[in-house]
Amino acid sequence: MSDSIRDDLRRRVESLLAEHDPSTADPVTFHRARFDAGLAWVHFPVGLGGRGADRDLQLFVDELFEQAGAPGHQAELNGIGLGMVAPTIVAHGTPEQRQRYLRPLWTGEEIWCQLFSEPGAGSDLAAVGTRAVRDGEDWIVNGQKVWTSVAHKADLAILLARTDPDRPKHAGLSFFICDMRDRGVEVRPLRQITGEAEFNEVFLTDVRIPDTQRLGAVGEGWRVATTTLNNERAAIGGRAAPRESGVLAAVARTWRDNPDKHTPELHDRLLRLWVEAEAGRLAATRMRQRTSAGQPGPESSALKLAFARSNQQLTGLELEILGEDGLRYDDWTMVRPDRVDFAGRGPGYRYLRAKGNSIEGGTSEILRNIVAERVLGLPTEARGDKDTAWKDLAR
């Protein structure tokens, strides 16, 4: 990491703060200026909110703005847009698409969601059946999506749809940008085991999408979606975190607050899980350093897999520490949160919410296959549907 690059970024931050006082500036105006200065995603290309710097320097720039009291830009509400959509548009979008979508995404003027999973194709994303049929310069889309975060507030969505049912499942997909305000889009809440409706199901009926809103070539939707998924898994399992944070912090606090519940066996398990969580945190730091100049790879699947396992074991241990008090659950409230706090609310909520960690962002079963085949180089699993047209597959 060059000191000259850090000094240049520091000067740019100071110059922006001098022109736009963060204590009085309108948040949208401030973040437009930050994007134009290349201080939104510093590893993005110049002119697209970045400076072409190393990815790791983003934390340095963010800290400078945070210390100055700069306004937030709906990172909690627009996490899908910031962490998944933006790098996908940079990697696969046309120059016109990059110019159209990245700036309002960064400023929070447009909120994004992700239309991937379906009721009949959950773990096997390549088997999605939502159809997109060409009609002149447009595509007509019909189908159903499920487990869609913030769909009820989103302006736009990234959409994976089948454009050629006569080709094998991975080859017949295309990737689109969908306007969630289209009259053919219907969003319904999905109430979870926690009581809240964090996710949605989305019905698409004759939704018309211009071909100019296609990302990547026709039939290359799987390649584009892989970029999105790798960034999603890195965002879930590889985010920057201080020592003893997140769910681990909540469980450690419960342990310290309940000395009368201590046993040698629980103590040993807590120490083992603490070490595993710390190892995961350090591995995530190393992954961010290794991918500072490029896109996340299959290693992000291993981190997301470890994150889910750690959260579930820690929250289970927390209930054991509390004994019968851990069975009490008073949070059955129908709310539609803007963000997910895995460590928030009470122990019962943490335990129930952690069950979703092994589903969202790719199921743990699928991620184990990815790690085995693409990281460890083990023989691939036998797949009888690899060369069969999607329309001929049993469903």
Q: Which residues are catalytic?
A: 232
Residue showing tokens 């962002």: 361
> Which residues does 118 contact at the CB level (< 8 Å), separation at least 6?
128, 129, 130, 143, 144, 145, 146
Give the count of beta carbons closer than 10 Å to the beta carbon of residue 188: 13
Residue 126 and residue 170 in contact, taking contact as beta carbons nearer than 8 Å: yes
For residue 219 the two structure tokens come to: 């039939």
- Bridge partners of 176, per DSSP, are 159, 214
What CA–CA distance (Å, rounded) separates 361 from 272? 26
- Answer whether 278's CB lies under 8 Å from 307's CB: no
Strands (E), the chain: 112-115, 131-135, 138-145, 156-162, 173-179, 185-190, 199-210, 214-215
Note the helical H segments in 179-298. 221-237, 246-257, 264-290
In sequence order, which residues have a C-beta less than 8 Å from that of residue 221 and are 6 or more positions away? Answer: 160, 161, 163, 173, 174, 175
DSSP one-letter string for 309-366 = HHHHHHHHHHHHHHGGGGG----------SS--TT-S-HHHHHHHHGGGGTTTS-HHH
Q: What are phi and psi of 161, to 5 degrees?
A: -140, 155
Distance, in Å, from the CA atom of 66 to the CA atom of 137, rounded to the nearest integer, reads 45
Contacts with 344 (C-beta within 8 Å, 6 or more apart), sequence order: 350
Give dist(CA 80, CA 303) in Å, integer: 18
CA end-to-end span of the chain, whole Å?
51
C-alpha distances (whole Å) from 57 to each of 61, 64, 76 are 6, 11, 21
